[in-house]
C-alpha cells in the first residue's frame, strides 16, 4: 500500500514536470482495496480495472519500473509505452487492463469469466469500477449475463463518492448499490474499505464462492480519493473540511497503527518505507533513461490473431 502511495506521489510530480502525457488518475486513498482484493486471488485469475489502474497493477505484481515506464511512454512499460496511465496491461500477472470507457470493461470481464467456465478451469475474474459506472449500459449487460449464467466473477464497486465532480446523490436513485445486483440474482456485500484485512477477508469469501461454481457477487466498498478525479481536476466540488475529515480514515495510517499495535516497531516500519523510497526512485530513474515506445511494435499489440497486420498481407495474398 505504501508502494502504491509513493509511486503515485512521484508520478504526480513527474506529470507536473511534463514527463507524462495524456491523463493521470490517481488511486491515492483507495489503496486498501487493490491490495486486499489482490491478496484473495491465485495464479490464473484475471482482473479488470478502470483507468484508475496503477494500484491494482502494482498489487498484482507488475514491477514499479514497468509501471513508471508506461506512464513515461517508454518501450519498457507494461504496455510497451502504448497505453499510458489508463491502459496498463500485464497478462503474466493476470491484469487484463485498465480501461478508459466507463463501464465498457464490465461486459468484457464477464466474457473472461465465461471463458473460464466454458473451458472448465477454476479461475475467477475480478472486475473493478466506480459507482458512476453502475448507471451505464455496459454495467447492466455484464451483470445480467454474469447472474444468468452464474459466472465465476466478483464485481467490485469502489464507491469513492464522486464520479468526476458529481456526488452519487445526483446520479443514482438509490444509495445502496447492492440493490442493483439483486435484480440480476447475485449475492451482494457492502462494507467500508479502509482496513486492508477486512477487504481481503470479504473479497476472499466472494472469490471462494465463485471458484466453487456458486456464481457471482457484487461488492460495494466505501472509499474516498484524496486527489482530484485526474491531475487536471482541482476538486472544487468538495470542501477542504470534508477532505480533512476523510483523511482521518487514511488506510495507510490505519494499517500503520494496526502494525504497531501488533508489535511491529516504528524502526521496522521505517525500514519498509525506506526500501519503498529506493524502489520508487529507481523506477523513476529507469523510466527516464528507457527508450521511447517504438512505432514498429504499435500494430503487434492491436490484434492477437494470425491475421494481425504483420501477417495480413501474406494472408490476403
Ligand atoms: C462512456 C464514458 N462516458 C464518460 C466518460 C468520462 N468519464 C471518465 S471518468 C468518469 C467518471 C466515472 O466515475 P466513477 O465510475 O465513479 O469512477 P471513479 O473515476 O470515481 O473511479 C467519466 C464520466 C468516459 N470515460 N466514458
**What are the structural domains, with CATH classification, of the chain?**
2-316 (3.40.50.970)
What's the pLDDT at 297?
A: 85
What's the pLDDT at 317?
A: 47
Q: Any bridge partners for residue 156, and if so which?
A: 128, 219
Residue ranges for the chain with pLDDT beneath 70:
301-317
What's the pLDDT at 298?
A: 82
Cα 91 to chain centroid distance, Å, stands at 14
Q: What predicted TM-score, i.e. pTM, was given to this entire model?
A: 0.95
For residue 158, the ligand 1 atom closest to its alpha carbon is: 21
The span from the CA of 15 to the CA of 56, in Å, is 20
SS3 152: coil
100 lines ligand 1 (CB under 6 A): yes
Q: 86 C-alpha vs ligand 1 centroid, how far in Å?
A: 12
29: Cα within 13 Å, side-chain hemisphere: 23
52 lines ligand 1 (CB under 6 A): yes
What's the pLDDT at 302?
A: 67
Residue whose CA is closest, atom 20 of ligand 1?
A: 163
Q: 229 C-alpha vs ligand 1 centroid, how far in Å?
A: 9
Q: Calculate the dihedral angle through the C-alpha atoms of 28, 231, 131, 104, rounding to the nearest 10 degrees.
A: -120
Amino acid at each position: 500500500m505504501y508502494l502504491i502511495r509513493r509511486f503515485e506521489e512521484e508520478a504526480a510530480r513527474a506529470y507536473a514536470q511534463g514527463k507524462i502525457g495524456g491523463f493521470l488518475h490517481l488511486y491515492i486513498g483507495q489503496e486498501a482495496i487493490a491490495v486486499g482484493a489482490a491478496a484473495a486471488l491465485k495464479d490464473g485469475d484475471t482482473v479488470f480495472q478502470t483507468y484508475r489502474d496503477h494500484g491494482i497493477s502494482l498489487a498484482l505484481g507488475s514491477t514499479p519500473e514497468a509501471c513508471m515506464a508506461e506512464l513515461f511512454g517508454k518501450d519498457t512499460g507494461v504496455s510497451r509505452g502504448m497505453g499510458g496511465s489508463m491502459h496498463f496491461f500485464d497478462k503474466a500477472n493476470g491484469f487484463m487492463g485498465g480501461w478508459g470507457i466507463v463501464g465498457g470493461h464490465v461486459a468484457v470481464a464477464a466474457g473472461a469469466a465465461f471463458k473460464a467456465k466454458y473451458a472448465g478451469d477454476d479461475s475467477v475474474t475480478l472486475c473493478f469500477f466506480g459507482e458512476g459506472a453502475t448507471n451505464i449500459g455496459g454495467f447492466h449487460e455484464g451483470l445480467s449475463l454474469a447472474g444468468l449464467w452464474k459466472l465465476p466473477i466478483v464485481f467490485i464497486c469502489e464507491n469513492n463518492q464522486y464520479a468526476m465532480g458529481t456526488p452519487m446523490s445526483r446520479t443514482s436513485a438509490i444509495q445502496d448499490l447492492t440493490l442493483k445486483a439483486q435484480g440480476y440474482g447475485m449475492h451482494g456485500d457492502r462494507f467500508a474499505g479502509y482496513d486492508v484485512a477486512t477487504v481481503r477477508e470479504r473479497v476472499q469469501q466472494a472469490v471462494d464462492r465463485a471458484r466453487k461454481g456458486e456464481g457471482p457477487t457484487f461488492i460495494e466498498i466505501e472509499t474516498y480519493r484524496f486527489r482530484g478525479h485526474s491531475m487536471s481536476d482541482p476538486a472544487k466540488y468538495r470542501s477542504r473540511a470534508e477532505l480533512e475529515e476523510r483523511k482521518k480514515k487514511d488506510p495507510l495510517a490505519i494499517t500503520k497503527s494496526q502494525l504497531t499495535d501488533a508489535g511491529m516497531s516504528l524502526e521496522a516500519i521505517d525500514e519498509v518505507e525506506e526500501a519503498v523510497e529506493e524502489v520508487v526512485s529507481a523506477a523513476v530513474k529507469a523510466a527516464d533513461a528507457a527508450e521511447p515506445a517504438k512505432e514498429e511494435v504499435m500494430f503487434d499489440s492491436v490484434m492477437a490473431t494470425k491475421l494481425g497486420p504483420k501477417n495480413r498481407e501474406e494472408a490476403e495474398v
